[in-house]
A and B are shown apart, each in its own frame.
Chain A
Amino acid sequence: DVKVTQSSRYLVKRTGEKVFLECVQDMDHENMFWYRQDPGLGLRLIYFSYDVKMKEKGDIPEGYSVSREKKERFSLILESASTNQTSMYLCASIQFGGSAYNSPLHFGNGTRLTVT
């Protein structure tokens, strides 16, 4: 079974702090994603990476950056945390099937971040 591990289940940070959310997958997947999940807004894509050192913006990249130095690890960085970034953050990976996504996403259990 694919395992996607997020390093923290809960985080509490202060406004202005730099925050790192870490994600590791163990199935050699090329593609990794960071989503944000808020009540009533569903899953929104922040950033994704299709290869080491490669990244693309998703739907809501403002205030975030990412790092992918190794294939198995994808980090989400909040450069200066703000209260409106309080949310559940979900990491996922997928085995890209050629020209289309035709396999499931594998999600971690999420990091609930509170910014005070």
Chain B
Amino acid sequence: GENVEQHPSTLSVQEGDSAVIKCTYSDSASNYFPWYKQELGKGPQLIIDIRSNVGEKKDQRIAVTLNKTAKHFSLHITETQPEDSAVYFCAAPGYSSASKIIFGSGTRLSIRP
């Protein structure tokens, strides 16, 4: 069945360094790939998304890359800051059924001062 695998589950980086989180999906029909950030005590919030007609999208220190052939997409955070500490989720929605909005298992990112 459809699946989204997210790695790593935890990630600790030095402030100022880069962080990369990767997701692999199985449903080739997926064409929209969002990344959500969940801060402590809050619900997940969209931070960046990409559609299947582009390979990369950037928004300041955050970027997402998509490889449709390999069925994976990655979140890149450069020049990490303490406020980047959070749990990050990827998702790969499918077609015509809410049960096909499949989330990755989450990555807890910690930024070391």
Using a CB–CB cutoff of 8 Å, the interface residues on chain A facing chain B are 4, 31, 33, 40, 42-43, 45, 48, 50, 56, 58-59, 90, 92, 99-110
Contact = CB atoms under 8 A, between A and B. Distances in A.
A109 B98 contact: no
Given A104-B46, A105-B101, A42 B96 contact: no
Contact of B98 (A50, A90, A104, A108): A50
A100 B93 contact: yes
B93 A109 contact: no
Nearest to B34: A104
Interface string B42-84: 1111100101000000000000000000000000000000000
A43 B49 contact: no
B105 interface: yes
Interface in B80-108: 89, 91, 93-96, 98-101, 103-106
Contacts of B93: 100-102
Nearest to A6: B43
Contacts of B32: 100-103
A110 B98 contact: no
A11 B41 CA distance: 14
Contact of B105 (A42, A50, A90): A42
B26 interface: no
A108 B103 CA distance: 17
A83 B45 CA distance: 29
A68 B63 CA distance: 37
B94 A101 contact: yes
A108 to B, nearest CB: 5
B49 A48 contact: no
Query: Interface centre among A45, A59, A100, by most B CB within 10 Å?
Result: A100
B31 interface: yes
A58 B27 CA distance: 18
B75 to A, nearest CB: 14
A106 B51 CA distance: 18
Given A101-B32, A109-B43, A110-B43, A33 B95 contact: no
B42 A109 contact: yes
